Amino acid sequence: MKIAYVVPGPMKREEISRRQLLLQQWANPGVTVEIIDVAEGPASVESMYEEYLGIPEAAKIIYRLDQEDYAAVVLGCAGDPGLDALREITQNVLVIGPREAGMNMAAILGHRFSVLTVTDSRIPRGHELALIAGLRSKLVHVRALNIPVLELAQNRSAALEKLVQIGREEVEHHRADSLVLGCMSMGFLNVAEEMTERLGIPVMNPVRTALKTAEALVMCGLHHSKKGYAYPPKLSSGKAKSLDDLLHKRTSP
């Protein structure tokens, strides 16, 4: 089974190699995971504008992968940017949004979950994603570390301690019984297991839950519904031959 992890922004080669190693360690035997980043996009996602910037290039990559021998695609951003559109333009490959996967897993394992995200600017998106996933009634809070994405890995121990501190507040004062890490860079810190041990509740690593969701659905022969995510009519009718044909530019004043 081949799974692509598509990052909606350019990433340094050494960081791709580090993450590739972790992904392959977490994957089941017989599963190959390949990281693909876009040539042009945001360095990190800390706003909705940056989230939107990465969607067009990621869509072109995923549209191409749909015609190759990949079984699934995991989005490399826990904001699930463009998830509904990406599911529309794919007919063969399964597309997994890590935040959706993590929240659904948290809802299975507990009754009330909180999401820990990077900055205050991402809190509204956290509430919106819970609403889209149909899990708003189970969401307690979306809390921010206020550590920029690109600084998380600079001091892993400090990030871990802040995650544990906020997580403990959610457990002790707000009765959260599971937690979701709301950033893929948090997931690649590989702290969820230690947080679970220290806090006594399950903590969802969005990278691992997305990867395992993809593996499980492929093994079950399941694919997202094409009634729910219909192929774009212009593509299905042949009026458009590719994604580029859907984009029109004004040719006259």
For residue 119, give both structure tokens: 């900055």
pTM of the prediction? Answer: 0.94
pLDDT digits (tens, 9 = 90+) for 120-164: 999 999 999 999 999 999 999 999 999 999 999 899 999 999 999
b/e map 11-38, b = 16+ CB within 10 Å: beeebbeebeebbeebbeeebebebbbb
Q: What is the DSSP string of 3-33?
A: EEEEESS---HHHHHHHHHHHHHHSPTT-EE
The pLDDT assigned to 201 comes to: 98
The pLDDT assigned to 250 comes to: 80
The pLDDT assigned to 249 comes to: 83
Q: Same CATH topology for 2-97+209-246 and 99-207?
A: yes
pLDDT digits (tens, 9 = 90+) for 214-224: 999 999 999 99
Give me the residues of the chain with pLDDT under 70, please: 253
What is the Cα–Cα distance from 103 to 108, expressed in whole angstroms? 9
Longest C-alpha distance within the chain, in Å? 64
Domain boundaries, the chain: 2-97+209-246, 99-207
The pLDDT assigned to 73 comes to: 98
For residue 253, give both structure tokens: 């004043």
The number of beta carbons lying within 10 Å of the beta carbon of residue 245 is: 11
Architecture of domain 99-207: 3-Layer(aba) Sandwich (3.40)
Which CATH number is 2-97+209-246 given?
Answer: 3.40.50.1860
What is the Cα–Cα distance from 10 to 16, expressed in whole angstroms? 10
